[in-house]
């Protein structure tokens, strides 16, 4: 008989190690998307173990199942409506009391639950001893110890999940959460009132439904209206009547009283199952935080870590970058010799390989950047960065929580803007959305590497770090301006959990790095390929150019003069004469190519917009590259690869060397290169980000304002850098 697939949901508090366990169970066999109707990330993975096919679903991390946030609603709705075979609650064993609140709520649901006491090694090191057998007996739920980052206990966890899934659903008496007599009486009365008014198709446990109605759960009230119809009105009136009685009895809302009683129950459980060693414990995380979150040392250390990240990204990435660069060069040479002269050959060599190849060589740098960001997250330092930035964020009327989306913007602005949903105030959300695109996303990194590597080779990493830091500074100044003029409001309080420091697992770091880098690779075969082809077409046509000079005749004259000197027998070294002849021919060919590019369709477009960019030191080719960057910032460098490298002496050069040589010969200076990097940093974000801004603000007015404002700021800052640098003699 064919075995059914088991669906196992992982629930748990943030920072409980849930994602680590999910990654260890599923590895790279993950599918990432969004839950239907919301932009909360959904992760699933399929595994085959112990003779069973299992689908592992990673639910959003929540502290409770009270439906206040999108994450809590998603997690609870999945358990209630999708009926997974087993729910595994990942509990931080070193912080048992806080984690048991969610665990207690899961016990109240009609589902099969297992508690995984994760980070058992951390709990032990802190002197905690948990009696798992006693905990299981008191709660009526199987309990398994795990150490997720060391892969310990995961097989036992899966075996327990399979055994529970195959057992009949019998909720033991211990699983029923008991409240005080008054509340229990109200629950029983409401349950008995509901029972005759619903049929067997009603999906929820009646006791749990009564509890939720007494807690005034608006979502459950809506579900009752949907599923019961006319009788729902009587049920809701009865629930409100009982809520009124309880409020009068306790002089407080029933939901607050029930929450207090849950915590009282948890406190009793803790006394029964948890013992703490009297030996002196050393809290390593607290000692580290004495330095890393110190009011004087913390911020300089944070700046150093960010600087080190870009140094690593640039210096270590240079080696694999050279290997990929050589591979792209070999591909170009291969097609150059294999294909006959034709438009197809030009398209492949000068369009696709020059465009896509100029981007793909930066893949190692992108991977390293995402690896470093994953390292910050997995060690627990990302939360400290938000804590450190809290004081600075208050300068613009925000709090450290707003800095988390901004930090995410270093990877990609789209999920960073979506992440602003975690902010409570609409004004805070809009303000954070408007300044987040000033955080330089990974798509801009290839532009910085190409320009900084060409004009600031010895200090490229430091220059890129300064560019990123400048983006943060502009965001802070802009935020202060917006808070004062457009989005006035009081500062929101900031309370954020600082998770314990953990040693990151290489496997998890690589999974996080790869997940984020896949989007970069997908763009290779999509928008960047299409953009490279469009740029090549516009730069290659029309083909019947009316040149200002007869370049072919000039080349023929050089050849004729060379032959004449050979026949005259002048006593000059022949090899030297040949080199001189080739140099003259290349100079003429380069001038011809430059005029051809200027008179192509893209050259005409560039000449039209060039006056706008001339005051900031950018020529028509750079102007076109920046224009195409509105679609996707990666296209900026692929456009430069097509336009600049096409005019350079690329014979025998790798893709990056050809672009570097062409940039050096194009008349661009270090000052104009810096101006262009500033413009790329600050000007209008890509189309995907514009779409995210429109969706999250719900207003085209804010979107158009953002486009105009960012482009104006970019031009103004680039103008100050370029013209100010010239006045100072740079």
Q: Is residue 634 a contact partner of residue 359, using CB atoms and an 8 Å limit?
A: yes
Taking only the tens place, the pLDDT of each residue in 156-169 is 999 999 999 888 86
Give the 3-state secondary structure of residue 466: helix
Q: How many CB atoms lie within 10 A of CB 296?
A: 6
Tell me whether the omega of the peptide bond preceding residue 320 falls within 30 degrees of 0, making it cis.
no
pLDDT in the model for residue 673: 93
Nearest CA to 83 out of 205, 209, 200, 184 is that of 205
> CA 148, CA 89: separation in Å to the nearest integer?
13
H or E element in which residue 89 lies? strand 86-92
Nearest CA to 445 out of 519, 539, 391, 364 is that of 364
Residues composing the chain: 730
> CA 621, CA 639: separation in Å to the nearest integer?
8
H or E element in which residue 8 lies? strand 6-12
Spell 247-285 as b/e; 16+ CB within 10 A means b. eeebeeebbebbeeebeebbeebeeebbeeeeeeeeeeb
State the burial class of residue 127 (Cβ atoms within 10 Å of its Cβ: 0-12, 13-18, 19+).
Answer: middle
Q: How many CB atoms lie within 10 A of CB 550?
A: 11
Which residues in the chain land under pLDDT 70?
Answer: 1-4, 28-41, 67, 169-176, 200, 278-283, 399-401, 421-424, 489-498, 516, 519-520, 523-525, 565-577, 644-658
pLDDT in the model for residue 208: 85
Which phi and psi angles does 90 have, rounded to 5°? -85, 115
pLDDT in the model for residue 118: 92
User: Interior CA angle at 220 toward 215 and 222, to 5°?
Assistant: 125
What is the sign, positive or negative, of the torsion defined by CA atoms of 218, 224, 227, 233? negative
Q: Is residue 445 a contact partner of residue 369, using CB atoms and an 8 Å limit?
A: yes
Q: Is residue 144 a contact partner of residue 117, using CB atoms and an 8 Å limit?
A: yes
Which phi and psi angles does 55 have, rounded to 5°? -100, 120
Which phi and psi angles does 69 have, rounded to 5°? -105, 165
- Half-sphere exposure at residue 100, Cβ-oriented, CA atoms within 13 angstroms: 24
| Token pair in block for residue 730 | 């740079």
Nearest CA to 593 out of 545, 651, 533 is that of 545
Spell 617-632 as b/e; 16+ CB within 10 A means b. bbbbbbbbbbbbbbbb
H or E element in which residue 408 lies? helix 400-408
Q: Is residue 20 a contact partner of residue 68, using CB atoms and an 8 Å limit?
A: no
């Amino acid at each position: 008989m064919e075995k059914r697939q088991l669906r196992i949901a992982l629930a748990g508090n943030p920072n409980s190690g849930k994602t680590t366990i999910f990654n260890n169970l599923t590895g790279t066999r993950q599918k990432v998307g969004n839950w239907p109707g919301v932009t909360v990330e959904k992760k699933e993975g399929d595994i085959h173990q112990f003779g069973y096919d299992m689908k592992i679903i990673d639910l959003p991390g929540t502290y409770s199942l009270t439906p206040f946030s999108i994450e809590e609603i998603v997690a609870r709705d999945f358990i209630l409506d999708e009926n997974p075979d087993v729910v595994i609650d990942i509990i931080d064993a070193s912080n048992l009391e806080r984690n048991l609140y969610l665990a207690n709520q899961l016990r109240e649901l009609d589902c099969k639950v297992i508690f995984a006491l994760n980070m058992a090694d951390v709990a032990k090191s802190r002197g905690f001893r948990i009696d798992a057998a006693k905990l299981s007996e008191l709660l009526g739920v199987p309990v398994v110890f795990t150490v997720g980052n060391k892969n310990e206990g995961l097989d036992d966890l899966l075996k327990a999940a399979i055994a529970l899934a195959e057992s009949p659903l019998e909720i033991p008496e211990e699983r029923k959460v008991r409240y005080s007599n008054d509340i229990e009486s109200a629950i029983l009365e409401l349950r008995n009132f509901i029972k005759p008014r619903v049929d067997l198709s009603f999906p929820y446990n009646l006791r749990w439904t009564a509890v939720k109605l007494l807690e005034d759960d608006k979502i459950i009230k809506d579900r009752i209206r949907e599923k019961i119809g006319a009788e729902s009105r009587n049920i809701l009136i009865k629930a409100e009547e009982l809520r009124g009685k309880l409020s009068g009895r306790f002089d407080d809302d029933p939901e607050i009283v029930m929450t207090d009683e849950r915590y009282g129950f948890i406190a009793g459980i803790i006394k029964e199952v948890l013992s703490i060693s009297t030996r002196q414990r050393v809290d390593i995380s607290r000692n580290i935080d004495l330095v890393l979150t110190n009011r004087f040392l913390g911020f300089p250390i944070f700046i150093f870590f960010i600087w080190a990240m870009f140094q690593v990204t640039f210096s270590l990435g240079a080696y694999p970058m050279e290997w990929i660069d050589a591979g792209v060069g070999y591909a170009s040479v291969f097609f150059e010799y294999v294909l006959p002269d034709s438009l197809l050959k030009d398209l492949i060599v000068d369009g696709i390989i020059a465009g896509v190849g100029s981007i793909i060589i930066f893949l190692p740098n992108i991977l390293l950047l995402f690896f470093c960001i994953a390292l910050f997250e997995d060690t627990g330092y990302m939360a400290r960065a938000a804590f450190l930035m809290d004081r600075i964020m208050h300068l613009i009327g925000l709090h450290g929580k707003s800095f988390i989306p901004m930090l995410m913007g270093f990877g990609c602005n789209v999920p960073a803007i979506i992440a602003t949903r975690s902010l409570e105030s609409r004004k805070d959300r809009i303000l954070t959305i408007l300044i987040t695109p000033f955080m330089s996303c990974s798509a801009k990194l290839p532009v910085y590497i190409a320009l900084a590597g060409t004009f600031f080779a010895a200090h490229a990493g430091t220059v890129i770090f300064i560019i990123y830091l400048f983006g943060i500074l502009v965001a802070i100044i802009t935020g202060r301006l917006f808070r004062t003029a457009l989005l006035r409001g009081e500062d929101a309080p900031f309370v954020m959990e600082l998770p314990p420091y953990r040693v990151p697992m290489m496997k998890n770091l690589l999974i996080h790095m790869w997940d984020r880098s896949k989007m970069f690779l997908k763009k290779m075969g999509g928008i960047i390929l299409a953009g490279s082809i469009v740029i090549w077409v516009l730069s290659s046509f029309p083909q019947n150019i009316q040149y200002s000079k007869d370049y072919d005749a000039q080349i023929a004259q050089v050849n004729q003069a060379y032959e004449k000197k050979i026949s005259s027998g002048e006593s000059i070294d022949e090899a030297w004469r040949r080199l001189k002849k080739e140099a003259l021919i290349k100079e003429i060919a380069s001038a011809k190519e430059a005029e051809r590019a200027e008179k192509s369709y893209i050259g005409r477009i560039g000449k039209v917009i060039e006056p706008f960019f001339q005051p900031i030191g950018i020529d028509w080719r750079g102007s076109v590259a920046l224009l195409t960057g509105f679609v996707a910032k990666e296209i900026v460098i692929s456009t430069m690869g097509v336009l600049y490298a096409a005019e350079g002496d690329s014979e025998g050069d790798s893709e990056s060397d050809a672009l570097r040589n062409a940039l050096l010969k194009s008349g661009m200076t270090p000052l104009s290169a810096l101006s262009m990097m500033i413009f790329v940093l600050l000007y209008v974000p890509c189309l995907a980000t514009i779409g995210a801004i429109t969706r999250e603000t719900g207003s085209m007015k804010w979107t158009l304002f953002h486009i105009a404002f960012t482009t104006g700021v970019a031009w103004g800052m680039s103008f100050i850098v370029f013209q100010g640098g010239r006045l100072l003699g740079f």
